[in-house]
């Protein structure tokens, strides 16, 4: 009888191919061959140019930029792999689009983060690997396994190497306080929490700071930066409260609309983001620093493929 062997295939969508290449290099594999095109009417076409029958297929895609196109492309790639008899299909979603629509804040609203989870399941995704969801409970929207990674150890290494003194990690709102506390523990720093309200979409008002930030080097931690309205208001408030310097770290740099201009005019020292969402090379200078999550994702993919534990990747002591 022929021995059954496993076979890993790694593919990239078109939203973040640079990160997919880095992951492939870390894993010492080549990205699989796939044809992805968009018809004149906007429809997306995908065809694998090699057999994936019986393979464990991993698809790297960031649901960002042209969000709906990126999401649809991921769904079509998953469906194509399933119909080509892939053994398993794992979506490596470096940024989970629609994650902010994770609950009903007002009547007659959708819960779109749940809808996206349903779409992925119907398309044939067996497992999802993602990093720093807007809210952790989004994992519960899936009936299949979700490996939810975090970039906090990467940020801890980055700021630890800078040798900053009298550090205070600041949460931009109560919802981010738990993650900020973890980062503060990794750095041996103090913790402060800001009180923020949102009178409208992409509009933030910071009314107060819980904790002492006077004469401290503040590191403001969030899961994403979109239009940078929240960041601009937070930096202004921290400076008013006597912060000596303000650094920002966020996993996903969406940088929509006036984000770059707001950051350029703010009093922030540095904005440190991950490459989960591509940032134009010309923007990666001055205050904006990009650190890679490729080693973290490469290790997660290999552990999933080898059916090893992924929990070590959540360990603050885990060294990339």
What is residue 139's DSSP assignment?
G
Helix (H/G/I), strand (E/B), else coil: 167: strand
- Enumerate residues 6+ apart whose C-beta is below 8 A from 139: 133, 146, 148
Q: How far is CA 5 from CA 29, 53, 308, in A?
A: 17, 12, 17
d(CA 84, CA 289): 40
Contact between 73 and 40 (Cβ < 8 Å): no
Tell me if residue 9 is catalytic: no
Residues 149/313/178/197 CA torsion (nearest 10 deg): -20
Task: Beginning with the edge strand found earlier in the chain, give each strand of the sheet holding 167-171 in spatial order.
Answer: 203-210, 190-200, 167-171, 217-225, 245-253, 270-274, 288-291
d(CA 278, CA 65): 9
Neighbours of 151 (CB within 10 A): 26
d(CA 195, CA 148): 26
Contact between 30 and 24 (Cβ < 8 Å): yes
Neighbours of 33 (CB within 10 A): 11
d(CA 317, CA 308): 18
Catalytic residue among 114, 196, 216, 239: 196
d(CA 39, CA 42): 5
Q: Which residues have a catalytic role annotated? A: 196
């Amino acid at each position: 009888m022929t021995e059954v062997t496993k076979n890993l295939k790694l593919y990239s969508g078109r939203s973040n191919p640079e990160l997919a290449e880095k992951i492939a290099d870390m894993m010492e594999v080549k990205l699989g061959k796939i044809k992805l095109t968009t018809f004149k009417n906007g429809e997306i076409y995908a065809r694998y140019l090699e057999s994936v029958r019986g393979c464990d297929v991993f698809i790297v895609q960031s649901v960002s930029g042209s969000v709906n196109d990126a999401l649809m492309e991921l769904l079509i790639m998953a469906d194509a792999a399933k119909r080509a008899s892939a053994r398993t299909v794992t979506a490596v979603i470096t940024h989970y689009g629609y994650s902010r629509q994770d609950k009903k804040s007002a009547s007659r609203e959708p819960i779109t983060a749940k809808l996206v989870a349903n779409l992925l399941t119907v398309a044939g995704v067996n497992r999802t690997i993602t990093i720093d969801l807007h809210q952790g409970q989004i994992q519960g929207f899936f009936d299949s396994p979700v490996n939810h990674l975090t970039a906090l150890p990467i940020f801890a290494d980055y700021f630890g190497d800078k040798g900053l003194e009298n550090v205070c990690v600041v949460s931009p709102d109560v919802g981010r306080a738990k993650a900020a506390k973890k980062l503060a523990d990794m750095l041996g720093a103090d913790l402060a929490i800001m009180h923020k309200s949102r009178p409208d979409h992409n509009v933030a008002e910071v009314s107060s700071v819980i904790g002492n930030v006077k004469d401290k080097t503040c590191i403001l931690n969030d899961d994403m930066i979109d239009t940078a309205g929240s960041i601009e208001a937070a930096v202004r408030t921290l400076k008013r409260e006597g912060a000596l310097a303000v650094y920002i770290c966020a996993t996903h740099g969406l940088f929509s609309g006036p984000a770059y201009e707001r950051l350029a005019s703010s009093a922030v020292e540095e904005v440190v983001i991950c490459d989960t969402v591509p940032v134009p090379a010309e923007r990666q200078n001055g205050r904006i620093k990009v650190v890679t999550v490729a080693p973290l994702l490469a290790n997660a993919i290999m552990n999933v493929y080898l059916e090893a534990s992924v929990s070590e990747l959540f360990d603050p002591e885990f060294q990339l």
